[in-house]
Amino acid sequence: MDPGTDSDSKNLPCRIYPVAVLEGHSDRVWNVAWNPVQHLIASCSADKTVRMWSYSHSPNADYPSGDEPTPCVFTPATEIATGHRKTVRTIAWSPSGKNLATASFDSTVSVWERVPGDENGEELGEWECLSTLEGHENECKSVAYSSDGNLIASCSRDKSVWIWEVQPDADFECLSVLMEHTQDVKCVAWHPQEELLASASYDDNILLYVDDPQDDWFAFTTLSGHTSTVWSLAFSPCGSMLASASDDRTIRIWQRYPKPPVVGANQLVRVGKGSTAAEGEWKAAFTITNAHERSIYSVTWGKTPPGHSSIGASENDRGWIASTGGDGHIKVWNISVDGDRNVSHRLVADVADAHGLVDVNCVSWSPLEPGILASAGDDQKARVWHITRNSETN
């Protein structure tokens, strides 16, 4: 069966059209990440390398009727032989788009920068390792930059979450080692605006952390409810909700409800200049049961592309979640929240066998191109998709 064909989803409002197949890795692709500023996408693999492709918008503006246009054309850009001794599991771009962090099963995180190619600094050269962050005792599973690029979080099978400060001169100082999970930590994710960190674990829990400026980083909330390993986390673009995906085959939505601020070790915690990172109470809002038929490995949350309707009133729209996992499906859900904070969801698109008959490990919305999604699979390929109106139902 060709990847990307689906026979069950013809009645959904949108369809998932294949745009590109990014080949080159020689082992399963674990993760894929879009550069937030440049037209560049990176992937990482069990083959210990990172590959990058650049893309441009397709010049072809005439779409034959019935055919889907190809919005972007991808060309291979770079291959980084990272020097990691084992699988590269996760990659993360800095918000400036200039740096890339790689998390590896060899227990280290490396941070990369592209050196200027010539004396004027105009042509860009090779990717060079700025620094290697050591300290984890065994496999690193995930790495992420905070929204302002000042902090990096990493996590590992050693049950810990480390927070590092990004300093000038390629110096990275470890600010905190958080040992609050009781098992392997699978994923870390930063809030889109505030200095608030979430972590997901094999212990079935999600923890939220903030910094007490007079003391240390600490976990102020445990989000329990999943009945098996939590693989992946994604904050909503508006920052008031968090989606989690689990081996228990559910996607859970957690929401921040108004409440007095968090009390830390030194009484009231105010982060930054009147920041509200620690305010509000995070609680379970909704569970999408049987979202997939096997373990769900990845969830990503992006804005609803322009021109697409939402479930209710447009001011209630909170964007699109994409999810994927061991059942080989990529699914897209529209989320909306009404005035009473009731969350509703609707499946808007579904593609089966997205990477053929093998697992899909990661999905990620493009931050620059509406409706464009990348995925990484056990077929050794990364793929790019366009989710748009189903011409047969609309």
Residue ranges that bind other proteins, judged by CB under 8 A = 28, 46, 86-87, 89, 105, 139, 141, 157, 184, 186, 202, 228-229, 247, 294-295, 326, 356-359, 378
Give me the least distance between CB of 196 and other proteins, in Å please: 25
Give me the least distance between CB of 360 and other proteins, in Å please: 12
Q: What 3-state DSSP class applies to 263?
A: strand
DSSP lists the bridge partners of residue 6 as none
DSSP lists the bridge partners of residue 281 as 257
DSSP lists the bridge partners of residue 241 as 255
Would you say 182 or 214 has its CB closer to other proteins?
182
Backbone φ and ψ for 180, nearest 5 degrees, come out as -95, -15
Give me the least distance between CB of 361 and other proteins, in Å please: 9
Would you say 28 or 318 has its CB closer to other proteins?
28
Would you say 113 or 184 has its CB closer to other proteins?
184
State how beta strands 109-116 and 99-104 pair.
antiparallel
Backbone φ and ψ for 72, nearest 5 degrees, come out as -135, 150
Would you say 77 or 358 has its CB closer to other proteins?
358
Is residue 29 within 8 Å of 376, Cβ to Cβ? yes
Would you say 87 or 336 has its CB closer to other proteins?
87
Give me the least distance between CB of 358 and other proteins, in Å please: 5
277: left (phi over 0), alpha (psi -120 to 50) or beta: alpha
Q: What 3-state DSSP class applies to 349?
A: strand
- Measuring CA to CA, how many Å separate 282 from each of 191, 210, 256, 275? 13, 13, 4, 16
Give me the least distance between CB of 246 and other proteins, in Å please: 12
d(CA 195, CA 88): 26
Give me the least distance between CB of 264 and other proteins, in Å please: 33
Q: Which value, in Å, is the radius of gyration of the alpha carbons in the chain?
A: 20
d(CA 92, CA 109): 11
DSSP lists the bridge partners of residue 246 as 230
Give me the residue label for tokens 């769900």: 296
Give me the least distance between CB of 296 and other proteins, in Å please: 12
Would you say 36 or 356 has its CB closer to other proteins?
356
Give me the least distance between CB of 204 and other proteins, in Å please: 10
Would you say 212 or 359 has its CB closer to other proteins?
359
State how beta strands 372-377 and 382-389 pair.
antiparallel
Cα first-last separation, the chain: 26
48: left (phi over 0), alpha (psi -120 to 50) or beta: left
Would you say 180 or 359 has its CB closer to other proteins?
359
Give me the least distance between CB of 143 and other proteins, in Å please: 15
Would you say 110 or 310 has its CB closer to other proteins?
110
